[in-house]
Amino acid sequence: MDLFTPLTLGALQLRNRVVMAPMTRSRCGADAIPTHVMVDYYRQRASAGLIISEGIAPSADGLGYCRTPGIYTAAQVDGWRAVTDAVHAEGGAMVAQIMHVGRVGSALNKPVGSETVAPSAIRASGTMYTDQQGMQPFDEPRELSLEGIAAVVEDYRTATANAFAAGFDGVELHATSGYLPAQFMSTGTNRRSDRYGGSAENRVRFVLEVLEAMAGVDGARRVGLRICPDNPFNDLHDDDPQQTFDCLLSQVKELGLAYLHVIRFPNGRVDNLALGRRYLGDRLIGNESYTFDEAQQAVAQGELSAVSFGRNFIANPDLVERWQRDLPLATFDLSTLYTPGAAGYSDYPRADNT
Ligand SMILES: Cc1cc2nc3c(=O)[nH]c(=O)nc-3n(C[C@H](O)[C@H](O)[C@H](O)COP(=O)(O)O)c2cc1C
């Protein structure tokens, strides 16, 4: 068994175990609709065993970064349909990563009338890029009411239904990197005194409700979860991430999800991969700075079912073929990571230059 061995994860069929990690690339317009260059970009990378899309907002409130996509309007669903059709035409499989930023946003990057919301009204320290005014502080979020939380859970449910209508094979809940689900789970961002705050049991409730809503659309076998315990990105802090994630995963285990996608974090207080193995060891996707050899070994030894790669896919649309043929990898241009258009995005050639 190696990275090129096919794999079944729940309802997902992977022709190999080289997964493309989710990467925000800011190629939409202000309407959060996928563009033609995005169709090209994902088509070019369809030989991955599974493509996990960039983070996609379930609502206008869920948008935070400039030129990022949504999946809450008919036009957005149509745009994604063109992407999934292109990936499927190449024999690939693709899941939509549903990403609500919560407090990690700037009003300048969000549609008029949308809001920046969070479990508690605590602004993240730091700044984010806006096209209009360059780097700006994060918005002060509004604390979600109980009705507001229920509405956000419904947004995830609708986004999941929309993702299936758009032809995605599955959905992944983005629950790391300091965005809304992580804000609920962490003591530093969740000061609530109702049933969504306080104990670990209460702080993980939102994530469980969202997963149940997503699984309610067409079964848990089409739903994945992405975590990175103790990742401090976007000003996140939890007093006891081991306890929080034990509490979460002991309940997630019962849901029968397609997979658990774990970002390892060697400097953290939790051994993230060991944690993932303890609860969903038979359907674990590992991530973060894997080399081909290390990933091969992890899969061959049965430590991981698959490995996801982010940066290696940016300049190597044919990453799988390059590794199969032992060809060198290209390096990407940092300056075009988040700029509009095809340059530094869908114009990286294959090794055979086709
Ligand atoms: C440009 C860029 C954008 C990213 N956007 C997302 C995202 O939208 N959602 C997410 O979960 N992770 C995102 N990540 C993290 C990657 O999925 C991945 O965890 C990271 O690149 C480490 O994997 P690697 O060492 O193979 O690159 C992003 C990473 C990069 C480089």
Mutate to test the pocket of ligand 1, among 24, 97, 319, 337 (most ligand atoms within 8 A of CB): 24
How much distance in Å is there from the Cα of 21 to the middle of ligand 1? Answer: 6
In the chain, what percentage of residues exceed pLDDT 70? Answer: 100
How far does residue 224's CA lie from ligand 1's centre (Å)? 16
Distance, CA of 294 to chain centre? 23
Residue 224 forms part of a structural domain: yes
Is 115 domain-assigned? yes
Please report the atom of ligand 1 found closest to the CA of residue 55.
8
pLDDT tens digits, residue range 197-209?
999 999 999 999 9
pLDDT digits (tens, 9 = 90+) for 137-149: 999 999 999 999 9
- Residue 354: per-residue pLDDT: 61
In a domain, 287, yes or no: yes
pLDDT band at 84 (very low <50, low <70, confident <90, very high): very high
Whether 162 has a pLDDT exceeding 90, the answer reads yes
Q: Does any domain span residue 222? A: yes
- CB distance 51 to ligand 1 below 6 Å: no
Nearest protein Cα to ligand 1, atom 12: 22
Q: Taking the model in full, what pTM does it have?
A: 0.98
Active site residues: 179
Q: Does the Cβ of 315 fall within 6 Å of ligand 1?
A: no
Domain membership flag for residue 1: no
Q: Exposed/middle/buried for 339, CB within 10 Å: 0-12, 13-18, 19+?
A: middle
254-304 confidence digits (pLDDT tens): 999 999 999 999 999 999 999 999 999 999 999 999 999 999 999 999 999
User: Residue 29's pLDDT is what?
Assistant: 86
Model confidence pLDDT, tens digit, residues 297-335: 999 999 999 999 999 999 999 999 999 999 999 999 999
Cα separation, 124 vs 141, whole angstroms? 9
Q: Supply φ then ψ for residue 282, to 5 degrees.
A: -90, 0
- Residue 319: which residues within 8 A CB-CB, separation 6 or more? 18, 20, 45, 47, 48, 309, 312, 313, 329
Structural domain range at position 233: 7-336
Q: Does 2 fall in a domain?
A: no
pLDDT, averaged across the chain: 98
Task: Name every residue whose Cβ is closer than 8 Å to that of residue 296 and which is 6 or more positions away in sequence.
Answer: 2, 3
Tokens of 336: 């075009």
Ligand 1 pocket test, pick from 41, 311, 316, 339 with the greatest ligand atom count within 8 Å of Cβ, gives 311
Residue 27: Cβ within 10 Å count: 22
337 lines ligand 1 (CB under 6 A): yes
Residue 328 within a domain:
yes
Compute CA distances 17 → 12, 85, 93, 140, 253, whole Å. Answer: 12, 21, 12, 41, 22
Tell me: pLDDT of 353 over 80. no
Helices (H), 180-255: 180-185, 200-203, 205-218, 241-252
Q: How far is the CA of 179 from the centre of ligand 1 (A)?
A: 14
Distance, in Å, from the CA atom of 307 to the CA atom of 254, rounded to the nearest integer, reads 23
Cβ–ligand 1 distance for 155 under 6 Å, the answer no
Atom of ligand 1 nearest to the CA of 174: 11
Does residue 352 lie in a domain region? no
Q: What is the tally of structural domains in the chain?
A: 1
- CATH assignment at residue 150: 3.20.20.70
